Amino acid sequence: MLATNLSSPLTALSGVGPALAKTLSKLGLQHVEDLLFLLPLRYEDRSKLVKLGALNAGTRCLVEGEVLLAEVAFRGRRNLLVRLGDGSGQITLRYFYFSRQQQSQFAVGTRVSAFGDIRTGAAGLEMVHPEYRILKADQKAAQSDTLTPVYPMTEGIQQGRLRNLAAQAIRLMQATPPKELLPDEVREKLSMPLLTEALTYLHQPPTDADIRSLSAGQHPCQKRLAFEELLAHYLSLSNLRLRARKDDADALTKGGDVARKFVAELPFALTSAQQRVVEEILSDIKLPHPMMRLVQGDVGSGKTIVAAIACLHAIESGVQAAVMAPTELLAEQHYRNFSDWFTALGCAPVWLSGSQRAAAKRRALQSIRSGEARLAVGTHALFQDGVEFKKLGLVVIDEQHRFGVHQRMALREKGALADRHPHQLVMTATPIPRTLAMAAYADLDVSIIDELPPGRKPVQTVVLPDDRRGDVVARVRDACLAGRQAYWVCPLIEESELLDFQAAEASFDMLKTALPELRVGLIHGRMKSAEKEKVMRAFTAGELSVLVATTVIEVGVDVANASLMIIENAERMGLSQLHQLRGRVGRGDAQSNCVLLYKKPLGQLAKSRLAVLRDSNDGFVVAQRDLELRGPGEMLGTKQTGLPEYRVADLARDAELMPQVQMTAEKLRRVAAESVPAIIRRWTGDRGRYGKV
């Protein structure tokens, strides 16, 4: 029989059969080693036995006493009440769910130890459903010599069982310590403990451990594990970049005459930031290896112009380009813009989307297949089965944060022809703090457009309670009668009994009644594409004064005459989303304003969040605060971005580790390349999350 080790299945542990192993798999536990990385959520101090006479409500304590009385009482529901005494005082143990066998354990005179929350009950201090042990005559309450861990739970397994299994895993680890994968010089430079030391401490911290530091995730042992986990995911992502550098791509080196003509005929000059990013892109696409570049830029910074220049260079070099956006509304706007720009240059784009009529889709597919369409614009339908490009050389993906790592790679493989991969340019108007970008987009080179076009006036933002709605409606009337237009944004389409949001349809009806002299339109995600297109065109043409919308207009909608943005229930939205919505105004010459309406009462956290918007127009400042307040998964949308769900690390909390993670990754590849696959495997398991070199 093989000896149990850290790589053994959980069934190798004492007390784990097939049924329990299946339950443990819900916590992501398959092997003994996985238990080591199931870290406690918090700790309890069971090292001190507290006399019953010294108890205080609101504390959590270990107590011991003799059963003075045990009875079943009917006070609205069945209660098992067990009265304990120790000579210094008394306490009641209260159970709502109990069996006859459990009731029989509490015979008068039996000694019992219990641990739980102390609260004030009808007959004095009590514990409700505490953990307890029946003590033998000569047995004392089990006072722990370490803090007691409290683990993440799943239905069908109790804390005591998890503690026992984790303790077995710790003993196995101590008998045969896992290989230390971080070089000693790196670990010593960062004052990090050995892996075995860190894991032992975190599962069994001494009673004098710094609870505050552990609770905040700031203890050196937690930092040690977070660092290695961030390193593993960074290495895994950066493997994609290394793999891309080994692949072939068409070197797009031809001319640039059409692109120069396009830039010369623009009614404005490119900013220095746009020029810098264009040069970075052109340097990439002239190489015979696929570009993988992310362009970040605040709302209105001119990313689409940069993408257009890249597309023209691709077309001049004899390959096709594709521009993809996550929503039809944004994709349609790109199609209009590229049509206006490129048709006069002799390369009108073709449109492709999921909602397209069959005949139009057939024509588009044939045009793409034959190579007649040198630029295709659309939604993710561009890369579904049945779409064949003749020679795709450049893929532009807008609002990159809506797509994940796997989707980026799928697009890359879809465009591969004859062992050649397309260059890939991804863009986002959601500014991403540098440390988060390093973790989330390690497979991409990053360019930043950190300059707005000259003359762009900052949007003035005010925060108002929704009982001031009448004043806001009057403000909308004045702005529209002066020739301007306004957005009125609501989170929901219809009224909801569950969520007390001001729904878009209710606001639409309210504004039509309150503003009979103005034309009010409504747009939301459930409308058919043709309906949305009709409303959007009417608003763009100035035929509508007010557009009531859901957050479907968050990105991409560009109406220079719109100078007023009203956002309902702003306290319920993320800062980055609010910043994106605010970016729909301020795109013309007039001073623009944004009104954030909130429902009373407004909590302190919500108040401080909205103050960030009021005080800053800098998207990177807003994004950093959003990261700190909400975390990266919620900020970017974990399900959409493919951000890993870290076991130990927290990107918001551990952001300061990322620069050192990046340097360590480069060092490992140079001096200890053999440890790279092991680090990745330890933290990502067999999932192969990001691909292999």
Q: Is residue 402 part of a domain?
A: yes
Instruction: Write the CATH number for 52.
Output: 2.40.50.140
Which two tokens mark 14?
Answer: 């004492």
Nearest CA to 447 among 465, 466, 432?
432
Buried b (16+ CB within 10 A) or exposed e, 385-411: eebebeebbbbbbbbbbbbbbebbbeb
Nearest CA to 436 among 290, 296, 639?
296
Mark whether 300 and 412 lie in a shared domain: yes
Q: What is the pLDDT of residue 362?
A: 93
The span from the CA of 256 to the CA of 262, in Å, is 10
Q: Is residue 662 part of a domain?
A: no
Q: What is the pLDDT of residue 598?
A: 92
Q: Is residue 665 part of a domain?
A: no
**Neighbouring-strand partners of residue 67:** 84
Q: For tokens 């108007």, name the residue.
A: 429
- Domain of 522? 460-616
Mark whether 443 and 469 lie in a shared domain: no
Q: Mean pLDDT of all residues in the chain?
A: 86
Q: What is the pLDDT of residue 626?
A: 78
| Contact between 384 and 376 (Cβ < 8 Å) | no
Q: What is the pLDDT of residue 500?
A: 52
Mark whether 494 and 612 lie in a shared domain: yes
Which two tokens mark 129?
Answer: 């459903």
Mark whether 273 and 363 lie in a shared domain: yes
Mark whether 156 and 305 lie in a shared domain: no
Strand pairing category for 60-74 and 78-85: antiparallel
Q: Is residue 20 part of a domain?
A: yes
Task: Give the DSSP letter string of 511-542.
Answer: HHHH-TTS-EEEE-TTS-HHHHHHHHHHHHTT
Which two tokens mark 224?
Answer: 């040690």
> Per-residue confidence at 685, pLDDT binned at 50, 70, 90?
low
Q: For tokens 């101090």, name the residue.
A: 45
Element (H, E) at 575: helix 575-582
**Neighbouring-strand partners of residue 350:** 376
More confident residue, 304 or 587: 304
Q: How many Cβ atoms are within 10 Å of 242's Cβ, its own excluded?
A: 12
The span from the CA of 352 to the CA of 331, in Å, is 9
Mapping DSSP to helix (H, G, I), strand (E, B) and coil, where does residue 488 land? strand
Q: Is residue 684 part of a domain?
A: no
Which two tokens mark 226?
Answer: 């977070």
Give percent of the chain above pLDDT 90.
48
Please compute, for residue 431, the number of CA atoms within 13 A of its CA located in the half-sphere on the CB side. 26
Determine if the pTM surpasses 0.75: no
How far from 242 is each of 235, 287, 660, CA to CA, in Å? 10, 15, 20
If one counts the domains in the chain, the total is: 4
Mark whether 418 and 553 lie in a shared domain: no
Q: Is residue 70 part of a domain?
A: yes
- What is the length of the chain? 693
| Contact between 376 and 397 (Cβ < 8 Å) | no
Lowest-confidence region among 217-231, 429-443, 611-625, 631-645: 631-645
Instruction: Write the CATH number for 521.
Output: 3.40.50.300
Q: What is the pLDDT of residue 120?
A: 93
Q: State CA 201 to chain mean position distance.
A: 30
Question: Could you report the per-residue pLDDT of 337-354, keeping only the tens digit for each?
Answer: 999 999 988 899 999 988
Mark whether 185 and 311 lie in a shared domain: no
Q: What is the pLDDT of residue 639?
A: 41
Lowest-confidence region among 329-333, 355-359, 598-602: 329-333
Mark whether 305 and 401 lie in a shared domain: yes
Q: Where are the alpha helices (DSSP H) in 177-219?
A: 184-189, 195-203, 211-215
Q: For tokens 């009224």, name the residue.
A: 495
The span from the CA of 92 to the CA of 132, in Å, is 13
Mark whether 300 and 401 lie in a shared domain: yes
Please say if the pLDDT value at position 172 is more than 70. Answer: yes
> Per-residue confidence at 614, pLDDT binned at 50, 70, 90?
very high
Q: What is the pLDDT of residue 583?
A: 85
Mark whether 276 and 315 lie in a shared domain: yes
Q: Is residue 664 part of a domain?
A: no
Backbone CA torsion sign across 688, 689, 691, 693 = negative
Mark whether 260 and 326 lie in a shared domain: yes
Q: Is residue 689 part of a domain?
A: no
Please say if the pLDDT value at position 512 is more than 50. Answer: yes
Please say if the pLDDT value at position 402 is more than 70. Answer: no
Of 616, 637, 660, which closes a domain? 616
More confident residue, 28 or 642: 28
Give, to the nearest 10 degrees, the angle between helix 159-175 and helix 195-203.
160
Task: Give the DSSP letter string of 56-114.
Answer: -TT-EEEEEEEEEEEEEEESSSEEEEEEEE-SS-EEEEEESS--HHHHHH--TT-EEEE
Mean pLDDT across the stretch 144-155? 86
More confident residue, 459 or 328: 459
Of 569, 595, 616, which closes a domain? 616
Secondary structure tally for the chain: helices H, strands E: 25, 22
The span from the CA of 321 to the CA of 504, in Å, is 37
The span from the CA of 469 to the CA of 502, in Å, is 11
Please say if the pLDDT value at position 331 is more than 90. Answer: no
Of 449, 478, 509, which closes a domain? 449
Please say if the pLDDT value at position 687 is more than 70. Answer: no
Which two tokens mark 197?
Answer: 């030391």
Q: What is the pLDDT of residue 223?
A: 94
Mark whether 374 and 254 lie in a shared domain: yes
The span from the CA of 263 to the CA of 252, in Å, is 18
